[in-house]
Amino acid sequence: MNANAKPPESYQSRFLERDVAEDYACREYGAESYASSIWEWQAPLVRRLLEEARQEEPAGRHLDFACGTGRITRLTEEIFSEVDALDISPAMVGLARATCPQARFFVGNILESPDLCPGPYASITAFRFLLNLDPPLRLPLLAGLRQRLNPGGMLLINLHGNRHSLRQPAILWKRWRYGNSTAKDGLMLNDMSENEVRRCLESSELLVERVYGTGVLPPTVYRWPLRRFWSWIDCRLSAMRFLRHFCIDLIFVCRRKDSPVK
């Protein structure tokens, strides 16, 4: 264990600097990255789910919460006529604005400004957010999202580090090697189980309607030769229902508990 590990910073302030925001855009979503490969086949699923939400409420508005550089916002602009996108980091919003011409962007913290993007929204997306968020903030922020959702609306939230997946051995090794969480080079070494996420959602008066999984093979495989071949295999494995709960990335389709029965 590395005794010089820095104490973890709050996730809320992690992307405030412009160079960190740019690094996230270039490194995490660079052309050959693991995250980009997974997104290639996760995007059609997210599109289908959002189209479902739009059909349920054709005039409804969408909120992309913790929009970051606008990866999800761009997709939602193709589906909804009105999209709001919110992030705590002005630097991330600056990058998102440049590629999302239709969305209305907001910078701020809904816990400090409860009137920010009050909704109600037909659907809300919150991707790559819950896992790394400081645990005491999870329930208040989920409650804030629930409050902004129409009673019949849909919340899509993902877990991009399922503990019960083949990502875990590498995470355990890195934790042992570098110390916990954001200790070295901005490594994020957090994990959560599907049940932990379900408990957070249920404690926030949200009901999990369905869960989808993406990515069975460990990210390391994507650095081996024949990357496109492994991606093809991974896509097929992810489509197998019995492997869903062991995927690295899980998408939870949620409704408010007081949602009218469909």
Ligand X SMILES: C[S@@+](CC[C@H](N)C(=O)[O-])C[C@H]1O[C@@H](n2cnc3c(N)ncnc32)[C@H](O)[C@@H]1O
One symbol per residue from 122 to 141: x for binding ligand X (CB under 6 A), - otherwise; what is it?
Answer: -----xxx-----------x
Out of 15, 80, 105, 246, the only residue in the binding site for ligand X (CB under 6 A) is 15
For residue 111, give Cα distances in angstroms to 12, 93, 108, 155, 200: 11, 18, 9, 18, 17
Which residue's beta carbon is nearest to the bound ligand X? 68
Q: Which of positions 139-168 make contact with ligand X (CB under 6 A)?
A: 141
Give the CA count within 13 Å in the CB-facing half-sphere of 126.
Answer: 26
Task: Work out how close the CB of 137 gets to ligand X at its nearest, in angstroms, rounded to a whole number.
Answer: 7
Task: Work out how close the CB of 225 gets to ligand X at its nearest, in angstroms, rounded to a whole number.
Answer: 28
Report d(CA 172, CA 31) in Å as an integer.
Answer: 27
Using the minimum distance from each CB to ligand X, give the nearer residue, 87 or 194: 87
Using the minimum distance from each CB to ligand X, give the nearer residue, 105 or 127: 127
CB atoms under 10 Å from CB of 188, counted, come to 18
By the rule CB under 6 A, 11 interacts with ligand X: yes
DSSP, residue by residue, 34-77: HHHHHHHHHHHHHHHHHHHHHHHSTT--EEEET-TTSHHHHHHH
Using the minimum distance from each CB to ligand X, give the nearer residue, 144 or 153: 144
Task: Work out how close the CB of 3 gets to ligand X at its nearest, in angstroms, rounded to a whole number.
Answer: 28
Four-CA torsion 147, 108, 84, 90, nearest 10 degrees: -160
Task: Work out how close the CB of 19 gets to ligand X at its nearest, in angstroms, rounded to a whole number.
Answer: 14
Using the minimum distance from each CB to ligand X, give the nearer residue, 88 or 122: 88
Q: Any residues with CB less than 8 A from the CB of 136 and at least 6 apart, and which?
A: none
**What SS3 class is residue 127?**
coil
Q: Which of positions 180-239 make contact with ligand X (CB under 6 A)?
A: none
Task: Work out how close the CB of 72 gets to ligand X at its nearest, in angstroms, rounded to a whole number.
Answer: 5
Q: Which of positions 54-83 make contact with ligand X (CB under 6 A)?
A: 66-68, 71-72
CB 252 within 8 A of CB 157: yes
Task: Work out how close the CB of 163 gets to ligand X at its nearest, in angstroms, rounded to a whole number.
Answer: 18
Task: Give how far the C-alpha of residue 66 lies from the chain's centroid of Cα atoms, to the nearest Å.
Answer: 8
Using the minimum distance from each CB to ligand X, give the nearer residue, 47 or 259: 47
Using the minimum distance from each CB to ligand X, give the nearer residue, 110 or 211: 110
CB atoms under 10 Å from CB of 186, counted, come to 12
**What SS3 class is residue 210?**
strand
Q: By the criterion CB under 6 A, which residues form the site for ligand X?
A: 11-12, 15, 66-68, 71-72, 87-89, 92, 109, 127-129, 141
